[in-house]
A and B are shown apart, each in its own frame.
Chain A
Amino acid sequence: MRAEVFRAWITAAATVIGEQRDHLTQLDAAIGDADHGINLDRGFTAVVSAIESAAPVTPGAVLTLTGTTLISKVGGASGPLYGTAFRRAGRALGDAADVDLPGLAVALEDALAGVQQLGAAREGDKTMVDALAPATAAFSKAIAVGAPAADALAALVEAARAGAAATISMQALKGRASYLGPRSVGHEDPGAASTALILGALRDAARAGQ
């Protein structure tokens, strides 16, 4: 996959975040502070502009610019967390002009590590980690057994969605939702939901780029 695929990923992510902006904000209103969709939409809109004007030429540069812009524009917890995820992924890809599936798997694992390091969240805490961790594991596993790209990407998105859905029954242990204690149960975590959307955009862009 070359830089065009990664640019298409980010553009598709911006589109789906824009479409789901109100839904994500509603999820956040239930257990947080009602700004997740608004903030991510503002951030990804800025990312699309930044990519258009800077025109990064490697996959790593696309993701690094995405991360830096999200940190500068989003605020809240999701800005540093998503920003760090994309920056770590970008760093993992280095200067390569073309990224293969194992390379992408390493980048996703580095992104997860960055998020966990910064946010100190573990699986089961009802955060974006609950979508990103199983998705990354499913993707790496599919690649290890030699699955074709389409299947590995499908496994990635399926696991992310299942992970996001599983947050509904969890009690939040990190972030603002944790202040609610048991009352956080019964609501999908907005960060896990947006992670599933962003990984869905990755699958769509990669599939179109095959």
Chain B
Amino acid sequence: MSSGTLYDKVWDLHQVAELPGGSTQLFIGLHLIHEVTSPQAFAALKDLGLPVARPERTVATVDHIVPTTSQARPFADPLAEQMLATLEANCAEHGITLHGLGSGRQGIVHVIAPELGLTQPGMTVACGDSHTSTHGAFGAIAFGIGTSQVRDVLASQSLAMGKLRVRRIWVEGQLQSGVYAKDLVLHVIRVLGVKGGVGYAYEFAGPAIDALSMEERMTLCNMAIEGGARCGYVNPDQTTFDYLQGRPFAPAGDAWQRAVAWWRSLASGPEAVFDDEVCFDAAAIAPTVTWGITPGQGIGVDETVPTLEQTEPDERPLAQEAYRYMDLVPGAAIAGTPVDVCFIGSCTNGRLSDLQAAAQVAKGRRVAPGIKAFVVPGSEQVAAAAVAAGLDQVFTEAGFEWREPGCSMCLAMNPDRLEGRQISASSSNRNFKGRQGSANGRTLLMSPAMVAAAAVTGQVTDVRTLLP
């Protein structure tokens, strides 16, 4: 049983009561909503005749269904338009702030809450979206919930939860040049598996984690859920505080120093006890690419698709399913695999530093013939900062399309999708069958720089060969 960890401290502080069913009632400090998982929750609230308990603790944006070419209203897709109109009506009725299109603050929910300073250390954060784990980068306890739970948070600002165990993932050393947080987390999931984290919160710690920027920590925590861990977190430190200071909803004035003192006190101390601990060496990690149909089916870009003999016996049926679906040959090199579509964006890798890393590769090069490549900034703020830095020019001159912010082809709820058996190089988080909008479309997950490398070469390419 863990003790003295950040997870334990934040959990204890937010406990309201023990519920008759044996779970804990946990206060939710920040509730984020979007258009896909909230309409049924508001409808349920109406059926129950209940108000939103604390509308000031819920913040909304629209991200999943927005088109990335023209965002003019009404949307061309009437279902998408209905979903946004429903969100607008629900927020207006209940007094919930909606950061809508053109507000300057719209974007993917897991991009905007951090950049607005809404996400802070020591909070509990819930959202009807599994990638809510992203917010753990700040030392928050953040997790995805279903729509019935969205209803519960709206009604009571709390949830019925069971406490997780805590596994510390200690990462020694430093990532090599051309190797990013995305590669690190794909490697962790490759080793621990997509079910390895079920029942756990992942605490990421160690010298390699200390050296990561906040945006890199967000990428890391974002994909904790792909390893089965409902939440992942990094202890708050000076990097965290420097990122937060001056953001619109961050504490200011006299409160700032008091906030920092409290945030520091939350970090897992030397006395902390973990339920489990696993160590990695950052320097040993190569740019990592998935070859299969789960995020755990990943390999270094310099490796070959594992053969059945190289696969653990109980993972073999899934490997065979992946060979069939992906049409990749066991034992063949992953480098050189031709791609059709290159997607840079998503809550995993749609932030400014992600676009900078990709632009560094794209600059002065051209997208290979026949490749569709596009960049979808994670938010209006990311887009504005990228434009200010000239990144949109770098991308368009290289032959990438520069789009409006949203979730886009990560899950293809908008018009951005694969067609037929197209294969994508994607900076998103899931390579599930059918994930990117075509029932037989194929996805290779990788870092944004690796996606850019695939775009300019037309195939999976070790980005380290293209960097200065």
- Chain A complexes with chain B: no
Q: B: which residues have CB within 8 A of A?
A: none
Q: A: which residues have CB within 8 A of B?
A: none
